[in-house]
Amino acid sequence: MKMNDIWLALQSWALVHGVKIIGILVVVLIVNKLVAIGIERLIQRVITNKGGLLSKEAEEKREKTLTKILSGTARVLIWLFAVMMILSEIGVDIGPLIAGAGVIGLAVGFGGQYLVKDIFTGLFIILENQYRVGDAVEISGIGGSVEDISLRVTTLRDLDGVVHYIPHGEVTTVSNKSKGFSRINIDIGIGYSADINKAKEIINKVGQKLLEDEVWKNDIIEAPYFLRVQDLGDSAVILKIIGDTRPARQFAVAGEMRKRVKEAFDEAGIEIPFPQVVVHKPLI
């Protein structure tokens, strides 16, 4: 066959099949976009804040999580269907491929019990709204911020910046530190000679000022306050301070509260003691 004949054959193929393949790709891109928009709007309608139990931020987190998972799943299915159509257009018989995929799927089914477990557990985690993207959680002893959730794994990033990938099948216990609201829980020690009532008054005043501060007021739901004498330690009387904050803001608020209480105690002459060791030098 001459080169001219080959070139004419390629042109003829491109005009018929090439145009169809380009059309398939264009349609896939459009369908992907429309499906993503449709899923987002559907979830916004379905996920409603029943009874006002969820904050606006919590509702948005759940919508974002569900949208990401469903859109990703739909995208995979659409592209899989498109690839099959393109192969068929090229001239590949997709019948054996489909049959082979069924056999492979059956084989994977026998050995993929853990994969199935991961997916089913992931579905329940999502449907039960146990945690969402952006939540501060502890999963099976690993703490961090949820960066991503798929049907199979949850991605956490801890305070050291380390990323943890946790298969849903291994999730046994979930502690969500940012659902609805969070709480600061601080223990501060004062000397035995200090006036507890005075310390209580200072703590409550510092907590109230923190609530009224322009920088912090939007992070605090209930001003931090003195709760009780938590313990009588070896060298200090331990005071318990608690207060409610917006989700995942308890760490920042607790740090600022400690700073301000320390400054207020120093100003009032209230000592925050620390363990001391007395060394006796033998007489020679």
H-helix or E-strand spanning residue 19: helix 19-46
CA 61 to CA 139: how far, in whole Å? 18
24 in any annotated domain? yes
Please measure the distance between the N-terminal and C-terminal CA atoms of the chain and give it in whole angstroms. Answer: 112
* Average pLDDT over all residues of the chain: 81
CA–CA distance, 43 with 62 (Å, rounded to integer) = 9
pTM: 0.60
Domain count, the chain: 3
CA distance 12 to 203: 84
Residue 53 pLDDT greater than 80, yes or no? no
Confidence of residue 173 (pLDDT cuts 50, 70, 90): confident
Q: How far is CA 224 from the centre of its chain?
A: 26
Instruction: Say if residue 191 is in the same domain as residue 156.
Output: no
Between 236 and 120, where is the model more confident? 236
| 97 and 62 in a common domain | yes
- pLDDT value at position 9? 61
Same domain, 86 and 7: yes
pLDDT digits (tens, 9 = 90+) for 191-209: 999 999 999 999 999 999 9
90 in Cβ contact with 82 (< 8 Å)? no
7 and 82 fall within a common domain: yes
Contacts of 131 (CB under 8 A, 6+ apart): 125, 137, 146, 149, 154, 174, 176, 179
* Per-residue confidence band for 52, with pLDDT thresholds at 50, 70 and 90: very low
Q: How many CA atoms lie within 13 A of 99 on its CB side?
A: 4
Q: Give the structural domain span for 84.
A: 3-111
Give the integer Cα–Cα distance in Å for 184 and 178.
Answer: 11
The answer to whether residues 142 and 59 belong to one domain is no
Residue 51 has pLDDT above 50, yes or no: no
User: How many percent of the chain have pLDDT more than 70?
Assistant: 77
